[in-house]
Chain A
Amino acid sequence: MRKLLVIALVAASLTACRGGETTTDAGGIKTDVGVTKEPCPQAIDQAKGCIYLGIISDLTEGPFKALAVPITEAQKAFWKRVNEAGGIGGYEIDVTKFVKDNKYNPQTHKEVWDQIKGQVLALAQTLGSPTTAAIMSDLKSGNVVAVPASWTSQWAFDDVIIESGANYCIESMNSLDYAVEKYKSKSVLAVHYAGDYGDDAAAGVKFAAEKLGLTFSHLKTDAGADKQAGAIAEIVGKKPDLVILTTGPTETATIVGQAAARGYTGRFIGTSPTWNPALLQSAAAPALLALYEQSAPWNSWTTNTPGHEALRKALTGVTALSEGYTAGWVWSYPLKAALQKATANKDLTRAGLLAAVKSLDSVDYEGMLPTGAGNFKAGATGQVKVTAIYKPDKAGVTGVSLVKDLFVGPTAQAYTLDSACFNKL
């Protein structure tokens, strides 16, 4: 009897690991995990089935929650808009039932993924580079397509990841091209978190510094305002013309504010996750206004494109605006395109969705990214390379205003992405 019980348990767990059975719906579309004939919990049309997408984000106490919460809200609004427009292939999309908090901790990320992996077709958001790396083997072995909320260059080499915008490596190259042209910078220091996020940007800085003839150095720092003494001392001591930051917003305020207070007068450019409009209320605000600029993979909330207009319309009533909303919205377009392609192919299984991703040669971002962006068919060579430069601005709706519109610098233009940049730091 005990043996029978063990066998039954093993069989049950194997079934759970394998995921759902493949079935074919009334419309002839094959489905397996995370797709039901029953309507979504908040269905607009009760006659439609439901595609469940998971979200794993930094929602409560991690360093990126100020971005992650708006990203998540924007994604909910994005898919609501899709549902209101009739859904995809006879299905509506739910991104509200399987929302999990990773606290920006890879171990937690893995734990919450294990909780939902048998119930979702794909991930509408997996926030963070090191966190996503913790579930990458699972995503690959299960053919689970995932939308990253990060920009590491590694994603260009992972078929299951459908990224948008220039990665940190390319973005940093563009930042250096910009700084050399505008500020005639001759030395650069990259201050960055360890891991796929910070190392990726620092590697881009290193490559561009070599090409442009700048003196390069870099310093790894940790999350937390109290852990920046080393970075500040390095900046004040070395006095580089330019500092590229790849940290969180709290560290940005501490580093920029205190380095300026101790006499540093050079320039800072931070990647997009380094900024939070709330920093304009901090003691570091004067230093940020004077010395800091932000690089961004797409244009901000106020831009006039059909996509931006749809975003603003979908999120009418949001008062504390941030570029997290813009990011969450932009990131969702490739998954929408892939779902449409998969349903057109009559294969909405995980493998079918991945095949659809691999066949996409462009994504309609409604003008939020240049035409041709989203070429997943081309792999790493299809990467978009544009960057915009913003500066803090108290009058700006999201606390920033445009300095330089989307551009590709000569360094990034000439760079061939042949492997993840962070391996070359």
Chain B
Amino acid sequence: MDELLESVVRGLGRGSVYALLALGFVIIFKATRVISFAQPAFMLAGAVMVTYLVGPLGFWGALAAATVLTGLLALGVERTAVRPMVGRPAFVVAIITLGVDIAVRVIVNAYIGNDVRQVGDPWGLSRVELAGLIIEKRDVARIVTAAVLVAALFAYFRFTRMGLAMRAASYDQEAAMAQGVSVGGVFAVSWAMAGGLAAVAGTFVAVGENVDGLMWTIALVALPVIILGGLDSPAGAVLGGVIVGVLQELVAGYQSHFPWLGGNISVITPYVVMLIVLLVKPYGLFGTREVERV
């Protein structure tokens, strides 16, 4: 039983990171109807910034600075590469974000250098006993950080003028503009927010680990997560992240009972989930069903 619960806690830790990554995708999608494939690059960029800033600023200072800087980077990308494409098909803009992802990662890779880098987090791989369970402190840190950020984001959407504007623009951009909402401002804030979230997610992926050029691949798991939760649902992104994270850890923990499935089945678990969801519930758990009048 302890083994099961410890796997669940590890899964919650992993899922918290997925949730932050997925929230970035969803926020951009809600605002612009485009899936931004630049999120992996922002995630890597944020983590690499922390590895450089942790010396002078300490872990939390470096995290805050990297979050702001990555948000600004994402904002810059939106202004220079995405904004000129407003009005073009979403597919075209998505392809542009793919190009941005590759370009940013090439630059970031140069800053990683030949060796792996560390974010200098205070937890490392140390463990703590909690309610009889041996759990890693970094998992607790991941869960708490994600919970605080998700709560803050939801409060922002609910109680601030810009949050309200973002929600309005996501429903109907033209109607929102008619009411004085700056849709361009909504786009900009969405991209900056998604960049900041990616930086936090990247940093918490790397706690207790190393930052290397392959780290960006973890951001791809956010795609099954948003398919599961619903492309335009922040709540779905959070729940989807948690479900996928826990599922992955449980599959990894119990894969030895199913040797015929191969040795590393947890790696493909999110994509199997995505396939099933697409077949059974194409709009995800909380996604808005599209109505087309013919």
Name A's B-contacting residues (CB within 8 A): 60-63, 65-66, 69-70, 218-227, 229-234, 237-238, 249-250, 253-254, 257-258, 260-263, 276-279, 281-284, 287, 320
Contacts and interface: CB of A to CB of B under 8 A. Distances in A.
B116 A250 contact: yes
A384 B117 CA distance: 36
Given A226-B221, A233-B252, A261-B125, 19 more contacts: A60-B106, A60-B213, A61-B109, A222-B267, A224-B215, A225-B209, A226-B217, A229-B248, A229-B253, A230-B263, A254-B209, A254-B210, A262-B134, A278-B117, A282-B209, A283-B118, A283-B121, A283-B125, A320-B115
Contact of B263 (A61, A221, A224, A257): A221
Interface in B169-213: 205, 208-210, 212-213
A66 B115 contact: yes
B208 A283 contact: yes
A65 B264 contact: no
Contacts of B105: 61
A65 B213 contact: yes
A253 B209 contact: yes
Interface of B: 105-106, 109, 114-118, 121, 124-127, 134, 136, 205, 208-210, 212-215, 217-218, 221, 248-249, 251-256, 262-267
Contacts of B125: 257-258, 260-261, 283-284, 287
A286 to B, nearest CB: 8
19 contacts: A61-B109, A62-B213, A69-B114, A223-B214, A224-B214, A225-B209, A226-B217, A229-B266, A230-B265, A230-B266, A233-B253, A233-B254, A249-B116, A254-B210, A257-B125, A257-B208, A276-B115, A278-B117, A287-B125
A384 B242 CA distance: 51
Contact of A220 (B117, B249, B262, B266): B262
A237 B258 CA distance: 14
Contacts of A224: 214-215, 217-218
A69 B110 CA distance: 13
A250 B266 contact: no
Contacts of A249: 116
A250 B115 contact: no
B116 A227 contact: no
A238 B256 contact: yes
A283 B211 CA distance: 12
B264 A250 contact: no
A226 B218 contact: yes
A250 B256 contact: no
Contacts of B126: 261
A419 B258 CA distance: 32
B209 A283 contact: yes
B255 A230 contact: yes
Given A229-B266, A282-B118, A60 B210 contact: no
